[in-house]
Amino acid sequence: MTAGRIGCLSVEGISVARGARRVVEDVSFEARGGEVLGLVGPNGAGKSSLLRAIACLVPRAAGRARVDGEDLAALSPRERARRLAFLPQGHEVNWPISVERLAGLGRLPHRGPLAAPSPADREATERAMRRAGVKGFRDRPASGLSGGERARALLARALAVEAPMLLADEPVASLDPYHQLRVMELMRETAAAGDLVIVVLHDLALAARFCDRLAVMGAGRLLAFGPPEAALSPDRLAEAYRIGALHGERDGERFVLPWRRIDGAERAGS
């Protein structure tokens, strides 16, 4: 992985419609290689839809996503798959294939439909399994894994693509705290190598600590975009989430701890 494989992702006025309803409305931002961008917001804010729209997995009603000037939608599916690894929210694995085989699927965009994995594919798969910490159970069937193990096996699959962009939809959702921290550190490492990581998160503490910048969404719109301290300011949290949080700092790192609900009357009075 060489630094600077991706310069800039520009999301330009993306809207996504589901039926007559717009679930994402005119979202624009720019993200750079080398950063972890967190996509946060309450349930139904349109985070997952936006992520899918960037990855060209759902049709857009408007807008486009360009990487260093190149429209992602104009690329062939295979070429796009080499530029952008996508980790979906569910943990779907329909056959009890081994963890190693599962991780190796991340190499599909790099080989022909009939070609066997090359030594380079093998090495990338090994790297991904090591980074995701699944080498210890590489031969176990995916169906026999715990929720956390399976989530990491699927993360290994996404890492094996070795694309300059990683889009992950709630990658820590079913993990215990140890592995949540581990996966977030992994996201940081990936970004440190020059890649762009966009990650949908519900955990504001993790978002505040591990993301360079946050895109806060609410009702399909981008409410705020910027460094965590600005994006998760008390006013923003009240507006987006209807919560108040404890803000603090420890060892030079900032944390946000959701503390109480704010209902309508209280907000109007404050």
Partner 1 sequence: MSAASLIHRPTLILCLALAAACLGLATVSLTLGYVELGAAEVLRGVFGLADAPVALIVQELRLPRTLLALMIGAAMGASGAALQGLLLNPLAEPGVIGISASGGLGAVLALYFGWMSLSPYVLPASAMAGAGLATGALYLLAARNASTLTLILAGVAIGGLAISLTSLAMNLSPNPWAVSEIVFWLMGSVRDRTFEEVGLAAPFVLAGLALLVASGSALEAMSLGEEAARSLGVALGRARAQVILGVSLAVGATVAVAGVVGFVGLVVPHLLRPVVGHAPARLLIPSALGGAALILAADILVRLIAVGPELQLGVVTSLVGAPFFFWLIHRMKGRPG
Using CB under 8 A as the criterion, which residues of the chain lie in contact with partner 1 when the complex forms? 52, 55, 57, 76-82, 84-88, 90, 92-98, 101-102, 105-106, 108-109, 111, 113-114, 116-119, 122-123, 141, 154, 157, 161
Please report how close the Cβ of residue 200 comes to partner 1 at its closest, in angstroms.
14
**Terminus-to-terminus CA distance in the chain, angstroms?**
50
Pick the closer one to partner 1 by CB: 45 or 103: 103
Buried b (16+ CB within 10 A) or exposed e, 9-29: bbbeebbbbeeeebbbbebeb
Please report how close the Cβ of residue 161 comes to partner 1 at its closest, in angstroms.
8
What is the side-by-side strand order in the sheet with 84-87? 84-87, 165-169, 196-200, 36-40, 213-218, 221-226
> Is residue 168 a contact partner of residue 200, using CB atoms and an 8 Å limit?
yes
Pick the closer one to partner 1 by CB: 67 or 204: 67
Pick the closer one to partner 1 by CB: 5 or 157: 157
Please report how close the Cβ of residue 259 comes to partner 1 at its closest, in angstroms.
35
Please report how close the Cβ of residue 55 comes to partner 1 at its closest, in angstroms.
6
Q: How many Cα atoms occupy the beta-carbon half-sphere of 86 within 13 Å?
A: 19
Q: What are phi and psi of 114, to 5 degrees?
A: -110, -10
Pick the closer one to partner 1 by CB: 67 or 93: 93
